[in-house]
């Protein structure tokens, strides 16, 4: 079963059980997927849907910070629940250690020696971590690794 089918089944189940939060969260994700499909004029594969869902989670995490600074505990709780619901549609997330191993492999493979080579490393790392790790975390680990490597040389 494709990820899109699973999302549709879960949305229907949430509607039947009158779980408004889950139904609306999944509905927003479905809308985001449909928008990308219309804009790109193609049917998205699971890997592409992971990217859309990751972007939805990222948007909610950014909103979470705003809600916290505005002392809106109700919205903080809602955003956290939405993140939890959306996370169910992503593959198991990589640990920092696993990301570090992939980055180390990328640095060796690309011959990267300084922060100037970050693009090369990210090009190598991105397909291997797509949907399984936060891009900001990956970028931070790559930056740290390249900074530490340039100090060693």
Q: Is 12 helix (H, G, I), strand (E, B) or coil?
A: helix
Residue 153 pLDDT level (bands cut at 50, 70, 90): very low
> Is residue 39 domain-shared with residue 74, that is, in the same domain?
yes
pLDDT tens sequence across 37-66: 999 999 999 989 998 998 999 899 999 989
Q: Would you call 2 helix, strand, or coil by DSSP?
A: coil
138: Cβ–Cβ under 8 A, 6 or more apart, which residues?
A: 99, 103, 122, 125, 126, 129
Instruction: Say what percent of the chain tops pLDDT 90.
Output: 69
pLDDT at position 152 over 50: no
CATH of residue 120's domain is: 1.10.10.410
Is residue 25 a contact partner of residue 86, using CB atoms and an 8 Å limit? yes
For residue 71, the Cα-to-chain-centroid distance in whole angstroms is 26
Map tokens 């790790």 to a residue.
Answer: 133
* Same structural domain, 9 and 34: yes
What is the pLDDT at residue 131?
78
Q: In terms of domains, do 106 and 59 share one? A: no
| pTM score | 0.77
The number of domains in the chain is: 2
Question: Within this chain, do residues 57 and 101 fall inside the same structural domain, yes or no?
Answer: no
Q: Which two tokens stand for residue 69?
A: 């600074």
Q: Are residues 12 and 55 in the same domain?
A: yes
């Amino acid at each position: 079963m494709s990820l899109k089918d699973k999302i549709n089944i879960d949305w229907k189940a949430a509607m039947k059980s009158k779980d408004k939060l889950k139904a609306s969260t999944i509905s927003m994700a479905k809308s985001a997927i449909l928008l990308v499909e219309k804009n790109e004029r193609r049917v998205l594969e699971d890997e592409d849907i992971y990217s859309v869902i990751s972007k939805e989670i990222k948007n909610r995490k950014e909103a979470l910070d705003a809600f916290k600074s505005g002392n809106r505990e109700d919205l903080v709780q809602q955003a956290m629940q939405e993140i939890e619901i959306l996370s169910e549609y992503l593959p198991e997330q990589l640990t920092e250690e696993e990301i570090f191993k992939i980055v180390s492999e990328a640095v060796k493979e690309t011959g990267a020696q300084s922060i100037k080579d970050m693009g090369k490393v990210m090009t190598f790392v991105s397909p291997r971590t797509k949907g399984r790790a936060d891009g900001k975390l990956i970028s931070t680990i790559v930056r740290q690794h390249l900074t530490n490597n340039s100090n060693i040389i």
